[in-house]
């Protein structure tokens, strides 16, 4: 017991907080048939993801900033990289090609402590892949994405993740100018598709790697 107390004291309060919340979340994710694990840092998250992906697997992704932050995209051998394409037509084709890849990498705009994933999309290629695309999906989610309830998760996706993400594009949307969601209907709106994944079917198709660091938006 003395050793356990010493180890707990040696951990940073935020790390300890994330780890304790992760244990609750893991139980709830598994009850919803997700494959889920917790990694305390980026290095262990990268190792966990690479163990899941065969060396010769074809991997696609859609705006997976969290996967990029842990170094996963750079570590893969066969990838469909939409961002490397030169023309809009090539990028569009790459987005479609991702739907038939062996694996698809994505983050999560929010995760409820009750075990639901929330993702928001402009054109819908990312949420399409999650719903019925590649046979295996890997979700990299920093614990900063975790909120208590599903309502809070949807709110986070719309009012925090989307406005932050839009700063990459600075399109003709209110949030590009103000940083605040205005529930707009603009042609360049990036909040057109909102996906709530409340269960994983078939069981184990979606692998959720929770990371005890702040990742993504």
Q: What is the pLDDT of residues 146-197, one digit of tens each?
A: 999 999 999 999 999 999 989 988 889 999 999 999 999 989 999 999 999 9
Give the Å distances, CA to CA, from 214 to 52, 65, 112, 143, 189: 22, 12, 16, 6, 26
Residues 157 and 145: their CA atoms lie apart, in Å, by 9
Determine the average pLDDT of the residues in 38-49. Answer: 98
pLDDT tens-digit map of 70-113: 999 999 999 998 878 889 899 999 999 999 999 999 999 999 99
User: What distance in Å separates the CA atoms of residue 81 and residue 216, rounded to the nearest whole number?
Assistant: 18
Identify the band that residue 9 occupies on the pLDDT scale cut at 50, 70 and 90: low
Strands (E), 35-132: 35-39, 58-61, 78-80, 103-106, 110-112, 117-121
Examine the pLDDT at 2 and tell me if it is beyond 80: no
pTM over the 0.85 mark: yes
Instruction: Quote the pLDDT of residue 10.
Output: 56
Question: Percentage of residues in the chain with pLDDT exceeding 70?
Answer: 95
Q: Is the pLDDT of residue 4 over 60?
A: no
Buried b (16+ CB within 10 A) or exposed e, 53-75: beeebbbbbbbbbbbbbbebbee
Please give the pLDDT value at position 204. 98
Average pLDDT over residues 208-216: 97
Q: What is the mean pLDDT of residues 19-47?
A: 98
How far the first Cα of the chain sits from its last, in Å, is: 38
3-state SS, residue 78 = strand
Beta strands 35-39 and 206-211 are parallel
Are the C-beta atoms of residues 62 and 120 closer than 8 Å to each other?
no
| Mean pLDDT of all residues in 50-72 | 94
């Amino acid at each position: 017991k003395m050793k356990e107390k010493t180890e707990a004291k040696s951990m940073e309060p935020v790390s300890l907080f994330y780890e304790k919340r992760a244990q609750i979340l893991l139980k709830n994710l598994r009850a919803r048939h997700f494959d889920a694990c917790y990694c305390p840092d980026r290095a262990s998250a990268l190792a966990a993801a690479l163990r899941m992906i065969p060396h010769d697997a074809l991997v696609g992704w859609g705006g997976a900033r969290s996967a990029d932050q842990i170094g996963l995209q750079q570590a893969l051998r066969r990838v469909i990289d939409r961002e490397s394409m030169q023309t809009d037509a090539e990028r569009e084709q790459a987005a479609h090609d991702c739907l038939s890849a062996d694996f698809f990498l994505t983050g999560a705009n929010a995760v409820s402590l009750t075990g639901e994933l929330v993702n928001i999309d402009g054109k819908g290629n990312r949420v399409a892949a999650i719903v019925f695309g590649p046979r295996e999906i890997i979700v990299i989610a920093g614990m900063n994405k975790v909120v208590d309830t599903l309502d809070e998760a949807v709110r986070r996706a719309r009012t925090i993740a989307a406005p932050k993400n839009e700063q990459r594009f600075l399109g003709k949307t209110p949030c590009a100018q103000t940083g605040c969601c205005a529930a707009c209907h603009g042609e360049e709106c990036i909040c057109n598709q909102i996906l709530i994944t409340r269960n994983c079917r078939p069981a184990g198709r979606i692998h959720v790697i929770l990371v005890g660091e702040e990742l993504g938006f």
